[in-house]
Amino acid sequence: MQNLRRTMLYVPGNNPGMIRDVHIYGSDSIMIDLEDSVSVHEKDAARLLVYHSLKTLDYGNTEVLVRVNALNTPYGRKDFEAMVRAKPDAIRLPKTETAEDVLEADQLISKIEQEIGMEQGTIKLFAAVESAKGVLNAQQIATASDRLIGIAIGAEDFVTDLKTTRSLEGIELLTARSLVLFAARAAGIAAVDTVFSDVEDEEGFTNEVKLIKQLGFDGKSIINPRQIDIVHKVYTPTEEEIRKSLRIIEAIKEAEEKGSGVISVGGKMVDKPIVERARRVLDLADASKCGTRWM
């Protein structure tokens, strides 16, 4: 079983009110941030707050990730030491540039798991690539560790690295998004798109969600509860898509009973990949209806 990851809601790790309430908005995952939303003056206080929050709060079925600081910063190691002990579902590695970055994190988590008697492999990893180097190494990053459950792109840092800015059309991100997506699919892990920073621009946000869904992403990192329903709506199959998928499954069953793997539905050829897509639509419809778990 795999989690639905349409929405991964960032919450700043220095904001106790938001951390307490973040799961009530209904995102598929929450991602408590110790990195760029927390100033250097508050890193230690935020780490302590997040540790105690994870030890005491119950987020129910919602997947919980913590974005730590990178291991090449003064905060990274302390973040790992505390967060593995706090036991989120996964740790998100920011600014991942090489497979070695993932391996270093993997080995540190293994060491801490061993020290505290936690089963090896309990804490999963999610790698975010946010630079040209990270994107070009996405394939190696995505296969670097068995702990990796997904790879994400962080566009604000990425466009800064490229020496450009973000446009609403996202032309500057197309190659990077595609490479990250290919790496995820080849490795069999989740692919999550980046944040859209203007929470007031619903139209721009909706267009971006449609684009990344069409590219093949499983979902999006988001920064505000107002963005959740928009993503879920785009990702939930329509009545028409569900009806069409049911017709395809029915038709291929009949064809197979007659010894054929191909049939025409409404004038269009239906064969194995189309059946697989129809099954995915039905799985997604089921999962969207009944909560977070789906095949």
Asked if 11 and 196 touch (Cβ cutoff 8 Å), the reply is: no
Instruction: By CB under 6 A, name the one of 97, 106, 157, 208 that touches ligand Q5B.
Output: 157
CA–chain centroid gap for 275, Å, is: 26
Contacts of 246 (CB under 8 A, 6+ apart): 278, 282
Q: Which does 71 bind (CB under 5 to 8 A by kind): ligand Q5B, Mg ion, none?
A: none
Q: Which stretch binds ligand Q5B (CB under 6 A): 29-37, 230-238, 242-250, 259-267?
A: 29-37
Please tell me whether residue 73 binds ligand Q5B under the rule CB under 6 A.
Answer: no
Q: Which stretch binds Mg ion (CB under 5 A): 8-16, 149-157, 173-181, 267-275?
A: 149-157
Amino acid present at 237: P
Q: Which CB, 80 or 158, lies closer to ligand Q5B? A: 158
Please tell me whether residue 130 binds ligand Q5B under the rule CB under 6 A.
Answer: yes
Please tell me whether residue 76 binds ligand Q5B under the rule CB under 6 A.
Answer: no
Instruction: By CB under 6 A, name the one of 26, 36, 71, 86 that touches ligand Q5B.
Output: 36
Give the shortest CB-213-to-ligand Q5B separation in angstroms.
Answer: 16
Please tell me whether residue 155 binds ligand Q5B under the rule CB under 6 A.
Answer: yes
The annotation status of 67 as a binding-site residue, yes or no, is: yes
Touching Mg ion, residues 151-190 (CB under 5 A): 154, 157
Burial of 267 (0-12, 13-18, 19+ CB in 10 A): exposed
Site string for ligand Q5B, 8-27 (x = CB under 6 A): -xxxx-----x---x-----
Site string for ligand Q5B, 200-229 (x = CB under 6 A): ---------------------x-xxxx---
The annotation status of 157 as a binding-site residue, yes or no, is: yes
CA 254 – CA 256 distance, rounded (Å): 5
Give the shortest CB-36-to-ligand Q5B separation in angstroms.
Answer: 4
Q: Which does 11 bind (CB under 5 to 8 A by kind): Mg ion, ligand Q5B, none?
A: ligand Q5B
Please tell me whether residue 76 binds Mg ion under the rule CB under 5 A.
Answer: no
Please tell me whether residue 134 binds Mg ion under the rule CB under 5 A.
Answer: no
Instruction: By CB under 6 A, name the one of 2, 37, 73, 206 that touches ligand Q5B.
Output: 37
- Residue list, annotated binding site for Mg(2+): 130, 157
Name the site residues for ligand Q5B (rule: CB under 6 A): 9-12, 18, 22, 33, 36-37, 128, 130, 152, 154-157, 194-195, 199, 221, 223-226
